[in-house]
Structures are given as structure tokens and as C-alpha cells.
Amino acid sequence: MTDVKVCGLTREEDVDAACALGAAYVGFNFSDLSPRRVTPERARRLAAGVPAGVRRVGVFVAESYPAIREAIAAASLDLVQLHRPLFEDDLERVPRPVLAVAHAGREGEIPPVALLDRCAGILFDTSVAGVAGGTGVSLDWSLLEGRRWPVPFFVSGGLRPENVGESIRRTRPDAVDVASGVESAPGAKDRGRMRRFFEAVRRADETG
């Protein structure tokens, strides 16, 4: 099955539901710019219920290295997702594997191969610079069709139960990332929409 990352989690019951449905990744947003922001202490409580095998991802934009390290320690993060241009210093100073982020339509945002090869993956989104996802703006999948990368790649941007299947069939990602597409309000996931999202992913995988 294509892996699913449920991002922007702010409530324990939503973390539990995402994991029960089969999420491979759960995401906590630490950016001051996000309506889904959680503090390190809040993330600690949210992460406490994540079972073994589900990877905890911290989402950051302009946060300092000390702030990132504080969040890593608090929530036992497995990956750090950086919504900013990637530099050598990030890979040297962030003590967890980095998930790079690029706008699918801006080739200049894609890290050079020398850096990308050292990342845990790359996530393609539609977010404007300085915004940590969750905008609900759909990705132009044609920008990714037929392309392959040296690391796992994630598709994000406006995914919801109604369109995730088409996204998978067209881009063949390793993982899909959803936030606003399964919400009733920013940070509040809708159980029914989450269930339908996972069902749509499974159908797309089964039908090819």
C-alpha cells in the first residue's frame, strides 16, 4: 500500500484514529505560522500514543536549530520536515533524517542531488514559501508524472478522499500526505473523511 502521512495532528483521538487506520507517518506542526501549531509539550502528549512502526514527523519552517532539537526530544521525532530551502547546515545540525520540501512547479526549490541523496525523502507540495502546508491548494500532478527520484517521494497539496486515488495513479508516489483534506476545522480531523481517504488509497493500489 502507498504509505499515508496524516499531518497537522493536534488531538489525541485523531492520532489514535490515524494509527488505527494504518498511517505510516503522523505529523506534528511546530511552525508559529500554522493554525495547527503544537508546542513541544503538547507534542509530547500526542506522540505518547503512537505505536511502534509509525514514524513521528516534526514540521518546521523558520525555527532555529535549538527549537528543532527541543521538539525532537519532546516528541521523540523520527523525521524532520523542513519547509524552507535546504542547506548543508541543515543536514549537519539537525539530529534526525530530514524530509526535504519543494513546490512541484519550482525546479529551483528541489535540492541538488548531493544534498537530496542524504535526505530521508522529498515532499512535493503547493505551499507558498514560509507556509508549512495545510493550505488545501491542489497540486498539478502533471508536474510529477513519469518522474523518479533518488529518495522516497511524497505527494501533498490539496489531497482528499475524492482525489487521492487519481494522484496515486498519475504520480506513483511512495507516500501521500494529507492535512486539511480530512479535517472539519484546522487541526481537527474528521473520522469519516480519514477512513474514506485510507479506503481510496487502498483502492488505487489495488486497481493500479
Q: Give the residue numbers annotated as catalytic, written as ranges.
A: 7, 125
Contact 91, 118 (CB under 8 A): yes
Q: Give dist(CA 170, CA 168) in Å, integer.
A: 5
- Residue where the block lists cell 515532499: 123
Phi first, then psi, for residue 46 (nearest 5°) are -65, -40
193 vs 40: CA distance, rounded Å = 27
Residue 26 near residue 9 (C-beta atoms within 8 A): yes
Q: Which residues contact 141 (CB under 8 A, 6 or more apart)?
A: 155, 166, 167, 170, 171
Q: Judging by beta carbons within 10 Å of its beta carbon (0-12, 13-18, 19+), is residue 178 exposed, middle or buried? A: buried
Angle at 118 between CA 36 and CA 113, to 5 degrees: 105
DSSP H or E segment with residue 178: strand 175-178
How many helices (H) and strands (E) would you count in the chain?
Answer: 7, 10
